[in-house]
Each structure stands twice: as C-alpha cells, then as structure tokens.
Amino acid sequence: MKKSFTSIILISLLYSTTLAQILINGAGATFPEQIYQKWFSEYQKIDSSVTFNYQGIGSGGGQKQILSETVDFGASDGPMSDQNITKAPRRLLHIPTVAGAVVISYNLPGIKSLNLDGETLAQIFLGEITKWNDPHIANQNKSISLPNKDIVVVHRSDGSGTSFIFTDFLSSVSKTWKSKVGKNTALNWPVGLGGKGSAGVASQIKQSPGAIGYIELAYAHQNQLPVACIKNMSGAYIFPTTKSVNEAINCATIPSDFRFSMVNPNGPQAYPIAGASWLLIYADQKDPIKGKKLVEFLHWAFKEGESFAESLDYAPLPQFLIDRALAKVNEIKY
C-alpha cells in the first residue's frame, strides 16, 4: 500500500513537472503582435503550465515556419495562397483572430490632417507623384498649405501581411498598380526606403521629413504619428478607428476557409484599408499535450481575449464570426 501510494505521488509530480514545461512556439505577423502578447500574458495567469514564445518576424516568415513545422502555429495578416497551402504536409486552418486598420502615416510638421484617395496613394508609391504640393494631393486638401517638398516613400522590407493588406487595397483601386506591382506579402517596390517590421517603418517615417508610409494604427499612436483619412468606395474620407474597421468587417464576404479580404468595402463609414489577422494551425496536431493546450487557449481568446482588442487599437471580431471561428477551432484534433 505504501509503495503504491509513493508511486502515485511520483507520477503526479512527474505529470506536474511536464505541464510546467509546456512551451508553445509561434511566429509571424507584427500587425497583431501587441494583442497576442497581451493574450499570452493574461492566459498564463489562468494556466501557468503553458508558456507562449511568439516572434514577430512578419507574415511571410510565419507562413514559411508553419509550413516547415518549426513552430506550433504561424500568424499572418495575408491569407495563404493556394500554391502555398499545397505545400503544407497536412490540412492547415486559417483561424481569424482580430481585425485592424493599416493607416497612412506621414511626416509633415504642422499638418495634422490629410485626405488621400486610393489612386493618389498608388501614384505616390509608384513614384509618379513626387512632391507634396502635387495637384492630385492639393485638390483633396484645399484648406491646407502643402509644402513644395519631396515625398519620401517608406515601405516594409520584410515579408509582411501589412504589405499584403495595403497592396490588396491599391490593387482594388488602381489598374496600373495591379498590373505593374500587384498584391503580396513581399514585393518589388518601385520606389522608397525599406523598414523591417512595423516598428522599422514607423521609425523611418518619424526620422524622415516628408515621409509617407503604411503601418498599423497602434504603431501610429505609439509613435505619435499623424494618420490620413482615406477615401472609401462611398466617396467619404474616413478616419481609421476600431469603429470604422468594425464596419468594414461587417461588410466582408467570408468563405468557409476564412480566407477573405476586407479592403474597399461598401459600407458608407467603413475604413477602406482594413484587414484581418489569422493564426495558421494544423488540424491534426502531432503533439497531443501542446495541441490540447493550444485549443484551450483559443477558446479563452475568443471568449475572453477579444475584450482587450479595442484598448490596443484592434477591432474585435463580431460575434457571428467568433462563433464560426470557434467551430473551426473544434476541428483541431489532438
């Protein structure tokens, strides 16, 4: 009896030790990194047996690492292409988590408000509009005295879902951009300076007078950078907020595999350069303990974690989409 009791204690201790050492690795998008880190921190208060290690290396890196299975989950702001999905060793799920605005930030001292439409943005990033007082910009900002200053274009240098969202928008509004450059996580940019990650682009904008670039709303706020109002499909110039992003996601057509676009929606108050972020997770988990913990975390994230979104400048998913996402999470087998 004593021996049996001792064995039970030893097994219990071994099991507890195993749980304490569970490390779930993820990598990918910088767009949702701030809310993911918040989620991981909050979740560890609930389940101290699991630790998340997330590296914000860009969506392209996240897709590559999940395909090579060097991480337990990937993260991307651009859905995987059909070509990339065929490279997966087994079924790979796209699970949407939050939505957000890709904002156009600029460095023009004294100018706190700016209106821009998609065609003008395309021409700027193609290098066809090179001065801030160009008529295409001036005609949209008649109450502002724009300087005769060179435009310094800033873009991502790494594979980025933020780039995918931005170029998805440009491709939807400019035939020239669509034919010459297109949409992707990594592109051959016609002009401009590259910054690594959203933080790198924000830094380049901040230190380069006359600069313009695209970053997430949270990075603009953190770096105290002004953001432009962008003309939407209804003809209104919309300021990026979680509310205007919510209107965009409510207008989106969302297929069963969750690979969808939110850019240039029909909503009259919808911000036109918005996108979702996805976790990329295999439906069949190789490690049953990690798989179980990952599923438990995702249930918490959708039921509790979404409440942190707005305070971090993200738009929480609407309930109808949360319900659909949870149904997809329940397809994960471990």
CATH 3.40.190.10 residue ranges in the chain?
A: 2-99+275-329, 101-272
Structure-block tokens of residue 244:
């205007």
Packing angle of the helix pair 319-329, 288-303 (nearest 10 deg): 170
DSSP assigned state of 306: G
Residue type, 308: F
Is the pLDDT confidence value at 5 over 60? no
Is the pLDDT confidence value at 124 over 90? yes
Over residues 114-136, the mean pLDDT reads 98
CATH topology of domain 2-99+275-329: D-Maltodextrin-Binding Protein; domain 2 (3.40.190)
Over residues 54-67, the mean pLDDT reads 95
Give the whole-number percent of the chain exceeding pLDDT 70. Answer: 94
**Chain segment 61-100, per-residue pLDDT in tens:** 999 999 999 999 999 999 999 999 999 999 999 999 999 9
Over residues 186-209, the mean pLDDT reads 95
Return the closest-CA partner of residue 217 out of 288, 302, 118, 314: 314
| Mean pLDDT taken over the chain | 93
Packing angle of the helix pair 161-173, 59-67 (nearest 10 deg): 120
Residue the block writes with tokens 């240098």:
157
Q: What is the pLDDT of residue 21?
A: 81
Q: What is the pLDDT of residue 13?
A: 41
- Computed on alpha carbons and rounded to an integer, the radius of gyration of the chain in Å comes to 22
Q: What is the pLDDT of residue 7?
A: 46
Is the pLDDT confidence value at 14 over 80? no
Q: Provide the terminal-to-terminal Cα distance of the chain, rounded to the nearest Å.
A: 35
Alpha helices in the chain (DSSP H): 2-20, 33-46, 59-67, 82-85, 118-126, 135-138, 161-173, 175-180, 197-207, 217-222, 242-251, 288-303, 319-329
Q: What is the pLDDT of residue 20?
A: 53
**Chain segment 227-272, per-residue pLDDT in tens:** 999 999 999 999 999 999 999 999 999 999 999 999 999 999 999 9
**Chain segment 30-41, per-residue pLDDT in tens:** 899 999 999 999
What's the CA angle centered on 233, arms 189 and 32, to 5 degrees? 55
Structure-block tokens of residue 291:
């798989």
**Chain segment 138-154, per-residue pLDDT in tens:** 999 999 999 999 999 99
Is the pLDDT confidence value at 102 over 70? yes
Is the pLDDT confidence value at 12 over 70? no
- φ/ψ region of 84 (left if φ > 0, alpha if ψ in -120 to 50, else beta) reads alpha
Helix/strand/coil (H, E, C) string of 96-107?
EEEEEEEEEEEC
CB 203 within 8 A of CB 215: no
Could you give the dihedral angle defined by the CA atoms of residues 24, 27, 32 and 37, in that order, rounded to the nearest 10 degrees?
40
Over residues 113-118, the mean pLDDT reads 98
**Superfamily for 101-272?**
Periplasmic binding protein-like II (3.40.190.10)
